[in-house]
Amino acid sequence: MHSVAHRGQMSAYWAVGATTVGLRVEEGVVLASEKRVSYGFTVTSKSAKKVFKISDYLGIACAGLIGDMQAIARSLRAELKLYELDTNRRMSVRAAAKLLANILFSQRYMPLMSETLVGGVDDVGPHLFVLDAIGSLIEDDYAALGSGATIAIGILESGYRKDMTIDEARSLAIKAVRAAIERDALSGDGIDVLAITKRGADERFEAVK
């Protein structure tokens, strides 16, 4: 899932300049992304947010157009709140991911240009789902999206273990994004990290020298 569906290679280059990773371990889920926004050969921002805390038990991380990422985060946050008000219980992570997949598929003729990771912890345990721009849905243990994904995925594959602690998973995610930043001109300017466990969600920022 290193490019956006139904757009050409050049369009994908413009749309997914980013490095975004996610890991699922026994203790929880870690999502991480760098903060640079690039269009073509121009850096338009060094402080973009691509990792979003949706609730205390669920978050998303994206690679794509900033406006579309923000729209996805707003829609999912609103749907989860409405569900909780209607049912007086939390939506499962799997149901939230399927809901987002349906939202994306419903806009397939004018897709939101973003690849998305949905991660969280519910009564069943931790989950990590990978979605493309038109709602294809895959559950996995770890994933990397964006222009730096081919670099980051190698780091994840070499270091990943299911029995890692959440702190080890956070360190591996940072290592993967940092490696991509060093080689991918479209990625850079610090790393946002969201770790979700049964205790809640912990957001941190990691500076990159």
pLDDT tens-digit readout, 146-202: 888 999 999 999 999 999 999 999 999 999 999 998 887 667 778 999 999 999 999
Give the strands of the sheet with 142-145, arranged side by side. 142-145, 20-24, 28-34, 191-197, 200-206
Token duo for residue 200: 């809640």
Homologous superfamily in CATH for domain 9-206: Aminohydrolase, N-terminal nucleophile (Ntn) domain (3.60.20.10)
Statement: residue 6 has pLDDT above 90: no
Place of tokens 């760098």: 34
Report, as residue numbers or ranges, the catalytic residues. Answer: 19
Statement: residue 85 has pLDDT above 80: yes
Statement: residue 13 has pLDDT above 90: no
* Amino acid 41: pLDDT: 67
Statement: residue 1 has pLDDT above 60: no
Task: Determine the residue type at 27.
Answer: E
The answer to whether the pTM exceeds 0.85 is yes
Per-residue pLDDT tens digits for 53-62: 999 999 999 9
* Amino acid 40: pLDDT: 65
Sequence-distant (6+) residues with CB within 8 A of 196 are 28, 29, 30, 31, 57, 58, 59, 119, 120, 121, 126, 202
Q: Where are the domains of the chain?
A: 9-206
* Nearest residue to 63 via CA among 94, 32, 40, 42: 32
Distances, alpha carbon 101 to alpha carbons 61, 137, 202, 203, in Å:
14, 7, 25, 25
